[in-house]
């Protein structure tokens, strides 16, 4: 086969260099044939669009043509010509075809219109479908947008540890990390496991959040963000929870809760605008195939001001709804940790736009949040989104050493884990704030996908760690 430099299909489809010889490589999506011509739709992942390969059947070996099946990988040389049919602007008149990888009829992606549940059982191949190709291209673009947003604002990307020895992050159940022989655990008189011979000499786990270390960095570098994997062994089988997910956690010295809300709102709008500006082809596909309201919802987010509301006022609205006959599965009262149905009621029914709920009861929030004067609430802020519920959780942090220490003691958090964190308040403490955005929750919103298992390549959930 003649050596020609490969062109990506995304570039090819923009080209007007008709009559030039090109090489494309990719996987067969579909093939149609008549007596004289065969048409192969080839996709190389660079774009959701396929390029059409037109094959003059007489000019090619019959046995080779039989191998042009769905899923097969081809290298094609041919002439770039203007397309006469609808759809694409160009197509390729094949001169030489090499089958790089054959694909027989056991290929699991032969049939179109499979369920999402089925696609999860073939997660190793699903990136080759239109839907998952679109989702993972958008996932990449969102990661890029996030780094760009923070970099342009002068934030530093800070790497917090994935293995941690403090079990006080308080955000969820942790996975343990150990090299001990689980068949032969050493225990003390009380029956507690002895960790001194373990790898780290003490109990260690996978992180549930990089925030505490993020605060150390913010009180040195000024403004930082983390973007890494987080692990929560919560046994909740919901469409919005993963055991392994990616989180973005900005933390900023001298920001109060209002600055924090401003940052969160600007950040989400930037990401959504980025998707509209750079991923429209994929978003249009998802809008047509998965969620008809997607584009409209994305556009509406970037031009609406988010509602800012105190928890206490949110509870009042929910109680009024109950009094007026609205049925919730879970009870509503001051002090309750809001369920997703409550959050969605506020966002989707009451305000019809995103809501930032603030000043939650301290009992349902973490120890490090700044305490309000009322003695009952803390300066927390959750950003609630249509269809998702909580997409961001954040707060202004308690900067006062005495108050923080009192809260730590009140909750019985072991001091051996906390000394380094408390040092930020002991040495040059400053007001500061931050939040955590679940990357996959953002992707649910931007792609219109209904289940969080379908916006991460290889989901980890209770009873599932395949691939």
For residues 122, 127, 132, 137, the Cα torsion angle rounded to the nearest 10 degrees is: 160
Q: How far apart are CA 147 and CA 246, in angstroms?
A: 14
Judged by CB under 6 A, the stretch of 150-158, 199-207, 304-312, 431-439 that binds ligand ATP is 431-439
225 binds, among ligand ATP, Mn ion, none (CB under 5 to 8 A by kind): none
Q: Burial of 278 by CB count in 10 Å (0-12 exposed, 13-18 middle, 19+ buried)? A: middle
Shortest spacing between CB 313 and ligand ATP, in angstroms:
20
Q: How far is the CB of 7 from ligand ATP (least distance, A)?
A: 38
Name the region of 387 (left: φ>0; alpha: ψ -120 to 50; beta: rest).
left
Of the candidate spans 138-146, 218-226, 388-396, 443-451, the one that interacts with Mn ion by CB under 5 A turns out to be 388-396
Which of residues 27 and 385 has its CB atom nearest to ligand ATP in the complex?
Answer: 385
Residues 297 and 301: their CA atoms lie apart, in Å, by 6
**Contacts with ligand ATP, 185-224, as mask; x by CB under 6 A:** ----------------------------------------
Q: Does 393 bind ligand ATP (CB under 6 A)?
A: yes
Interaction between residue 434 and Mn ion (CB under 5 A): no
CB of 171 to Mn ion, least distance (A): 8
Q: Check residue 440 for interaction with ligand ATP (CB under 6 A).
A: yes
Interacting residue with ligand ATP among 78, 354, 438, 448 (CB under 6 A): 438
- What does 391 bind: ligand ATP, Mn ion, none (CB cut-off 5 to 8 Å by kind)? ligand ATP
Nearer to Mn ion, 71 or 434 (CB): 434
Q: Which helix (H) or strand (E) holds 256?
A: none
Decide if residue 171 touches ligand ATP (CB under 6 A): yes
Which of Mn ion, ligand ATP, none does 26 bind, CB closer than 5 to 8 A by kind? none
Determine if 393 is a binding residue for Mn ion (CB under 5 A). yes
- Out of 24, 72, 94, 391, which residue is the one contacting ligand ATP (CB under 6 A)? 391
Strand order in the sheet with 377-385: 156-157, 223-231, 244-253, 432-438, 389-396, 377-385, 355-361, 307-310
Near ligand ATP by CB under 6 A: residue from 149, 158, 225, 245:
245
Residue ranges of E strands in 16-58: 21-33, 37-43, 51-56
Binding-site member from 250, 386, 436, 459 for ligand ATP (CB under 6 A): 436
Indicate whether 362 belongs to the interface with ligand ATP (CB under 6 A): no
Task: Tell me if 24 contacts ligand ATP by CB under 6 A.
Answer: no
Separation between Cα atoms, residue 467 and residue 136, nearest integer Å: 17
For residue 419, with 0-12 CB atoms within 10 Å meaning exposed, 13-18 middle and 19 or more buried, which class applies? exposed
Tokens coding 211: 């925030």
How many CB atoms are located within 10 Å of the residue 12 CB?
24
- What's the min distance (Å) between Cβ of 74 and Mn ion? 48
Nearer to ligand ATP, 38 or 242 (CB): 242
Query: Cα separations (Å) of 351 from 37, 135, 306, 430, 438?
Result: 57, 29, 9, 35, 23
- Two structure tokens written together for 425: 């308040």
Q: Which of 53, 223, 242, 332 binds ligand ATP (CB under 6 A)?
A: 242
Phi first, then psi: give them for residue 29, nearest 5 degrees: -90, -50
Contact 354, 385 (CB under 8 A): yes
The residues of the shown chain that bind ligand ATP, judged by CB under 6 A, are 171-172, 232, 234, 241-242, 245, 247, 390-393, 436-438, 440-441
The residues of the shown chain that bind Mn ion, judged by CB under 5 A, are 393
């Amino acid at each position: 086969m003649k050596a020609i430099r490969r062109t990506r299909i995304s570039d090819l489809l923009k080209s007007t260099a008709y009559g030039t010889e090109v090489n494309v490589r990719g996987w067969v999506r579909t093939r149609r044939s008549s007596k004289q011509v065969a048409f192969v739709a080839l996709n190389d992942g660079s774009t959701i669009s396929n390029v059409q390969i037109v094959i003059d059947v007489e000019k090619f070996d019959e046995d080779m043509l039989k191998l042009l099946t769905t899923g097969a990988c081809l290298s094609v040389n041919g002439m770039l010509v203007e397309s006469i049919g609808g759809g694409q602007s160009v197509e390729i008149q094949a001169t030489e075809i090499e089958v790089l990888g054959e694909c027989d009829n056991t290929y699991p992606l032969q049939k179109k219109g499979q369920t999402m549940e089925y696609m999860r059982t073939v997660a190793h191949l699903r990136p080759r479908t239109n839907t998952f190709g679109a989702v993972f291209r958008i996932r990449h673009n969102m990661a890029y947008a996030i780094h760009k947003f923070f970099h342009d604002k002068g934030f530093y990307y800070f790497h917090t540890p994935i293995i941690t020895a403090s079990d006080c992050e308080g955000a969820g159940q942790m996975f343990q990390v150990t090299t001990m022989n689980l068949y032969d655990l050493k225990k003390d008189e009380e029956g507690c496991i002895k960790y001194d011979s373990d790898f780290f000499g003490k109990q260690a786990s996978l992180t549930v959040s990089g925030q505490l270390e993020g605060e150390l960095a913010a009180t040195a570098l000024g403004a930082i963000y983390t973007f890494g994997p987080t692990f929560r062994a919560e046994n909740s089988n919901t469409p919005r929870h993963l055991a392994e997910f990616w989180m973005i956690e900005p933390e900023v010295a001298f920001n109060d809760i209002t600055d924090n809300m401003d940052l969160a709102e600007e950040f989400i709008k930037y990401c959504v605008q980025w998707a509209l500006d750079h991923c429209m082809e994929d978003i249009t596909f998802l809008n047509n195939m998965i969620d008809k309201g997607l584009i409209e919802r994305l556009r509406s987010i970037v031009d609406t001001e988010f509602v800012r509301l105190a928890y206490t006022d949110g509870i009042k609205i929910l109680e009024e709804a109950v009094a007026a006959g609205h049925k919730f599965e879970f009870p509503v009262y001051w002090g309750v940790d809001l369920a997703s149905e409550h959050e969605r009621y506020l966002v989707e029914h009451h305000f019809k736009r995103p809501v930032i709920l603030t000043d939650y009861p301290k009992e349902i929030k973490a120890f490090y949040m700044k305490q309000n004067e009322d003695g009952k609430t803390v300066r927390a802020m959750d950003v609630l989104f249509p269809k998702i519920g909580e997409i961001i959780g954040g707060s202004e942090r308690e900067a006062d050493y005495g108050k923080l220490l009192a809260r730590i003691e009140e909750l019985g958090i072991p001091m051996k884990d906390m000394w380094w964190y408390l040092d930020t308040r002991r040495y040059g403490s400053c007001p500061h704030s931050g939040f955590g955005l679940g990357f996959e929750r953002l992707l649910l919103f931007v792609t219109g996908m209904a289940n969080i298992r379908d916006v991460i390549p290889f989901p980890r959930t209770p009873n599932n760690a395949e691939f």
